[in-house]
Amino acid sequence: MRAPFGARVTTAVSLRGPLCVGIDPHPGLLEAWGLPVDPGGLERFALTCVEAFAADLAVLKPQSAFFEAHGSRGVAVLERVIAEARSAGALVIVDAKRGDIGSTMAAYAGAYLSDGSPLAGDAVTLSPYLGFGSLEPALDLAGKTGRGVFVLALTSNKEGATVQRAINPDGATVAQLIVDEAAARNAGASPLGPVGLVIGATVGRTGLDLTKLNGTILAPGFGAQGGTVGDLSRVFGDALRHVLPSTSRDVLRYGPNVKTLREAAIRVRDRLAVHH
């Protein structure tokens, strides 16, 4: 039995720092690296990232959509990225943002959270906007297999605010209700529970009460999307110690040279560690 996700991510961050690097094989990045936009170029890009980052960083986050865009060969590359990154000691969050109901949600949970599935990393991102309770199959399976989930709470895209910042009759925002649901499932876990949140690094003052979360926060948007170390302090306050700032383009633009990529990531990691 593996240790629970909350314990593993706490240990990984203490040993390797708080940075999460996204492996986002965007066609524009493949072209910038001089690679063809096809499964072969995808594979070279993604495995170069694994070679550059997996031995030194706590968390890698492959974005599933960019692999799926290449069909079955692309998904096979994603499976290899997950396996090789984990073998090198990094935790892997599969950024798939799945959300559905009933047997379909159970099938997604099986794909990303079950032992023996080639798509199962250490955690997966989920969307709760069919109701937080619809995620129960994934939450249950994550608990049984020692994996984690990261639930979208307050994202940095402008369209998200109409739903996430909407006020319920009791006066709480939808985002706060998601925080509270996650906190309830993490209650009593030590050092942290398995249910994390996704909160954008560029959302500004959130108005969220994170004091009872007892979980990890994934903060995309750090770096190229404008999020700074100062923003992280303003957005998360005392919860900053549980935040995984996530960057992709800000580091990936230094490819395709492995040494240059690794050095860029370590610079960002070490800058964050001073403030974490």
Catalytic residues: 97
The residues near 212 (Cβ < 8 Å, ≥ 6 apart) are 180, 183, 187
Compute and round to an integer the Cα radius of gyration of the chain: 18
> Do 133 and 159 form a contact (C-beta atoms < 8 A)?
no
Handedness of CA 114, 115, 116, 118 (dihedral sign): positive
In angstroms, the CA 194 to CA 21 distance is 20
> Would you list the DSSP string of 168-211?
PTTS-BHHHHHHHHHHHHHTT-SS--SEEEEE-TTS-------T
Query: What distance separates the 2 farthest-apart alpha carbons in the chain?
Result: 54
Q: For residues 64, 261, 52 and 9, what is the CA-based torsion angle, rounded to 10 degrees? A: -70
Cβ(276)–Cβ(21) below 8 Å = no
CA geometry: angle 97, 103, 105, nearest 5 deg: 10
